[in-house]
Amino acid sequence: MILQALVRHYENLERQGKVSREGWCAAKVSYGIALSPEGAIIGILPLKQEETRGKKTVLIPAVRMVPEMVTRSSGVSANFLCDNAKYLLGIDAAGMNPRILDCFQAAKERHLALLEGVDGEAARAVRLFFENWNPMEAASCGAVKENWEEITDGGNLVFCVGGAYAQDDPLIREAWDRKRQERNESAQGICLVTGKRTEIARIHRVIKGVPGAQSSGAALVSFNAPAFESYGKEQSYNAPVGQYAQFAYTTALNDLLSHGEDTFLTGDSMITFWAEDGEEAYQDIFSLSADPGLDNQETLRKVFDKLKKQEPVEVEGIILKPDQRFYILALAPNAARLSVRFFYEDSFGKILENLSRHYERMRIVKPAWEEREYLGIRALLYETINPKSKDKTPVPNMASMTLQAILSGSRYPASLFTDTLIRIRAEQGKITWGRAAIIKAYLIQNMGWKEGEGYMGLNEESTERAYVLGRLFAVLEGIQMDANPEIKATIRDRYFNAACAAPASVFPVLIKLKNSHMKKLERDRGGLKIYYEKQLGQIMEKLTEFPRRLSLEEQGKFDLGYYHQMQKRYEKREADK
């Protein structure tokens, strides 16, 4: 299903001229080797381009369309017309060794075989270069010597003849396509993707752009040990995918991952997404909806408002179709391979509807300084991380499961709730609005907390025992803070975790402490004492006893009660000011 969706996406992109056709690929090229008609090196052409990244300007390789490159893991295997200095020149920054000479020899044999009988100045110049070039005498070539460090930095090189790239020469392109189409009849089979009988790919091209995987790329489909072989079928013959399908899905996936606006990172998973018809407007709106920034909150609100009113959503002159099929793929690094965290497919309208419902469940009163209306998925997961830790990555499985639950409208993973509670405990009761929103959304979606839908702000009518206890703790802390304005550590720092888990062992102690604080308020601020006595009376009449233990679900309600009561206190302070 994943490969079929990617092949269809490739065909859409290919019709629009956005990706290379079969047998060709886009490669990053750093330098060009300028050849004379006689095959001699007459110069090294820098092809890197300037790009602004933040406040810096850096040089990045240019992207050129070149013959399809081989997949290299070990051993010697040469590309055609585009490769590094080891293969095209037989030199390396680390010095000469037998393997470097083997690399050049492999490139020489491949180029001479592919260009045999091909007419034209470019083909003749490349042939003469490989026939006459001696890697052992490379240092005596002025152009190579002057650019030695640059061309041996590992970047790709191409040949230039007469001011044009060799791979763009019509006769060379025709020869490459003709040679590539020569099939090996012994590797025929039924392709699992297209259902057609065709040549089966033995090795699939690597996928680049997934952080944590090898920099040279990692395989999505790969078998390299006898334990993975069935009926003696080695390599990828164990999962027969045709050459065309292999090229198409790898090209489409590499294209998706090369565009930062079509991806975002969640935990250790790279999330990429696309619409069935290839329209980029769907990708733009999904990226905005799943990971909104501070500057596009208003745009997202307008999109959700139109969805509620069943009005069409228009982006850059394109009216989005709710029934458009939309795909989300989560890939995680796994050594030289990629693992699929999840693959989700649904109509675009349904996905946006599920995202909208998630944000509705997350709605909660916020601090006055908070400008965001929607807490994106990455920001939501950040609430489960220790802000002081060097590694700001959330738990990988939890992160991907949370995203999948939001997209499908299903239950949130329990680990999202427990990790949020653990983070609150670790910080002695520090409940941010994001953590409170997670708790509220989880209780509504997973625990069927019907009353929770009205808990955006303080619910003074609630008789939920745990919620009321959280409110009571907040009021007791408020009394202490008003009685001792200069205090640096409150009862939250010492008693919050115990009060949340085992109220009966803590609240009697807090009530006694409250009495001494009230005496001080009576002496210094009598009006405030009366205010707190009324507030305590309203809360205490909702309690019959202090329970010995609170379940995890009740602890979440305790945290919400505390958060809501504290936000009410801050609102009053702002009003007083």
User: Phi, psi (5° rounding) for residue 436?
Assistant: -65, -40
User: Phi, psi (5° rounding) for residue 164?
Assistant: -125, 155
Fill in the amino acid letter for 286: F
Computed from CA positions of residues 440, 443, 448, 451, in that sequence, does the dihedral angle turn out positive or negative? negative
Identify whether the C-beta of residue 70 lies closer than 8 Å to the C-beta of residue 79. Answer: yes
Identify whether the C-beta of residue 107 lies closer than 8 Å to the C-beta of residue 83. Answer: yes
Q: What is the pLDDT along the chain (577 residues), one digit of tens a residue?
A: 899 999 999 999 888 888 888 888 888 999 999 999 999 999 999 999 988 877 788 888 998 999 988 877 678 889 999 999 999 999 998 888 889 999 999 999 999 999 998 999 999 999 999 999 999 999 899 999 999 999 999 899 999 999 899 999 999 999 998 887 765 555 788 898 899 888 888 888 889 889 888 877 888 888 777 777 776 676 767 788 888 899 999 999 999 998 877 788 888 899 999 999 888 889 999 999 998 988 888 889 988 888 888 888 887 777 888 999 999 999 999 877 899 999 999 999 999 999 999 999 999 999 888 889 999 999 999 999 998 888 888 888 899 999 999 999 999 999 999 999 999 999 999 999 999 999 999 999 999 887 666 678 899 999 999 999 999 999 999 999 988 888 888 999 999 999 999 999 999 999 999 988 888 887 767 678 888 989 999 999 999 899 999 999 999 999 999 999 999 887 755 545 4
Q: What is the pTM of this model?
A: 0.81
CA neighbor of 246 nearest in space, from 202, 211, 184: 202
Residue 437 CB partners (closer than 8 Å, separation 6+)? 362, 363, 364, 375, 380
Q: How do strand 325-334 and strand 62-67 relate by DSSP bridges?
A: unpaired
pLDDT for 229-247, tens place per residue?
776 676 767 788 888 899 9
Q: How do strand 156-161 and strand 24-35 relate by DSSP bridges?
A: parallel
How far is residue 60's CA from residue 48's CA, in Å, rounded to a whole number?
5
